[in-house]
């Protein structure tokens, strides 16, 4: 029986690990890879204290910081299940050799993040980070004075188009819904205040009831092909922002309650609905998915796990 298993190797989990090791917990840190979405974030300009850093370098710094305490980050592990058992948890995971191991632990911190949903159209994968991005907050500023299109119809797509409207020339948005009262004017899941702003903005052009067919371009994005009731069109654009949803990496976390999207419910102290299981970062139902927020939640989860372990009775 160990004190804690931290699942993940990125912002939330590395921050949790730093606190766990400084409090001298007997813990293991297991993860599929080091860096998660941080490593894929491109240039990061909003981690306090570092004005400009590549995401993969920041992720590398996180891991170095953890290892500087002598912690071994066990990479290549894939967690398949967590089984609450009496007053402890069994974390079921495949190790790098593909063998299933069962780790008995008093507490667990889940920091497994999300992965963005894809459009699943030709050239999307090939032009990823060559004009295609899933993070407008991060990459939007690169499109100053350029033509962008956001694909999606939820709040994240609305926010993407509104942000780009201030810098791009112009900012298109493609919604798959028609402009009818039943669909809230093409954005059935969006907040009214955002929809109103979007519709009033002179620099935003809305394409309704359209299905994206393909992203075009050789070495970088040059356009987007879509179909509407009239036919197939190609729009010349420099950037395609894909905001069609995200999938939390929470499928293995069977016992904890999740929302419809699969995000793990946590309270303000990062407790899940199962005592002894804590969650932090993008995998939770926190609305803002950012590195500094994930790191902060990782610290809260660690401090709460320490409190839980201190009062744990065999």
Residues making contact with ligand FAD (CB under 6 A): 7-13, 31-33, 36-38, 40-42, 44, 46, 77-79, 111-113, 116, 133-135, 138, 249, 252, 281-282, 289-292, 294
When the beta carbons of 135 and 240 are compared against ligand FAD, the nearer one is: 135
Of 158 and 209, the one with the shorter C-beta distance to ligand FAD is 158
Report residue 285 as tokens: 């139902």
List CB contacts of 186: < 8 A, sequence separation 6 or more. Answer: 153, 175, 177, 178, 179, 180, 206, 208, 209
Least distance in Å: CB of 32 to ligand FAD? 3
Residue 93: CB minimum distance to ligand FAD, A:
7
Closest CB to ligand FAD among residues 270, 294: 294
Q: Which residue lies nearer to ligand FAD by CB, 15 or 21? A: 15
Q: How far is the CB of 251 from ligand FAD (least distance, A)?
A: 8
Do the beta carbons of residue 270 and residue 293 sit within 8 Å? no
> What SS3 class is residue 214?
strand
Smallest distance, ligand FAD to C-beta of residue 273, A: 19
- Minimum CB separation of residue 52 from ligand FAD in Å reads 11
Tokens standing for residue 171: 């900012």
DSSP state string for 261-291: T-PBP--TT-B-SSTTEEE-GGGBS-S---H
CA distance 253 to 29: 16
We find the least distance from the C-beta atom of residue 203 to ligand FAD, in angstroms, to be: 23
Quote the least distance from Cβ 16 to ligand FAD, whole Å: 9
Beta-strand ranges (E) seen in the chain are: 2-7, 27-31, 43-44, 53-54, 73-75, 78-85, 88-94, 100-110, 114-116, 132-133, 148-151, 171-174, 204-207, 211-216, 223-227, 232-236, 239-242, 246-248, 277-279
Q: From residue 194, how far is each of 157, 197, 296 by CA, in Å? A: 10, 5, 28
Task: Tell me whether residue 146 or residue 233 sits nearer to ligand FAD (CB atom).
Answer: 146
Q: Burial letters for 146-156: b for 16+ Cβ neighbours within 10 Å, e otherwise?
A: bbbbbbbbbbb
Query: For the chain, what's the residue count?
Result: 314
CB atoms within 10 A of CB 6: 34
Nearest to 175 by CA among 207, 223, 214, 213: 207
Cα–Cα distance measured from residue 170 to residue 167, given in angstroms and rounded to the nearest whole number: 8
Of the candidates 256, 248, 267, 281, the one whose C-alpha atom is nearest the C-alpha of residue 89 is 256
CB of 196 to ligand FAD, least distance (A): 27
The minimum distance between CB 70 and ligand FAD, in angstroms, equals 20
């Amino acid at each position: 029986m160990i004190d804690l298993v931290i699942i993940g190797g990125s912002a939330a989990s590395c921050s949790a690990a730093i606190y766990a090791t400084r409090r001298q917990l007997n813990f293991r840190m297991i993860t599929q890879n080091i860096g998660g979405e941080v490593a894929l974030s491109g240039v990061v300009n909003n981690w306090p204290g570092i004005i400009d850093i590549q995401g993969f370098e920041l992720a590398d710094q996180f891991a170095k910081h953890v290892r500087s305490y002598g912690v071994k980050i066990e990479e290549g592990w894939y967690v398949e299940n967590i089984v609450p058992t009496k007053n402890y948890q069994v974390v079921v995971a495949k190790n790098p050799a593909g063998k299933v191991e069962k780790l008995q632990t008093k507490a667990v911190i889940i920091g497994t993040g999300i992965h963005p949903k894809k459009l699943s159209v030709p050239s999307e994968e090939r032009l990823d980070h060559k004009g295609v991005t899933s993070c407008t907050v991060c990459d939007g500023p690169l499109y100053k004075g350029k033509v962008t299109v956001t694909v999606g119809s939820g709040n994240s797509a609305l926010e993407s188009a509104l942000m780009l409207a201030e810098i791009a020339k112009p900012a298109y948005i493609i919604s798959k819904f028609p402009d009818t009262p039943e669909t809230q004017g093409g954005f059935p899941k969006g907040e009214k205040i955002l929809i109103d702003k979007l519709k009033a903005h002179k620099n935003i052009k809305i394409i309704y009831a359209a299905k994206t067919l393909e992203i075009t371009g050789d070495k970088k994005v040059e356009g987007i092909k879509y179909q509407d009731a009239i036919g197939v069109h190609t729009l010349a654009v420099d950037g395609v922002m894909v905001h069609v949803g995200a999938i939390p990496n929470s499928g293995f976390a069977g016992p904890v309650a999740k929302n419809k999207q699969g995000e793990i419910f946590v309270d303000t102290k990062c407790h899940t609905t199962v005592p002894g299981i804590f969650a932090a970062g993008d995998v939770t139902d926190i609305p803002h998915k950012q590195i500094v927020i994930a790191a902060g939640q990782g610290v809260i989860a660690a401090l709460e796990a320490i409190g839980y372990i201190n009062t744990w009775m065999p």
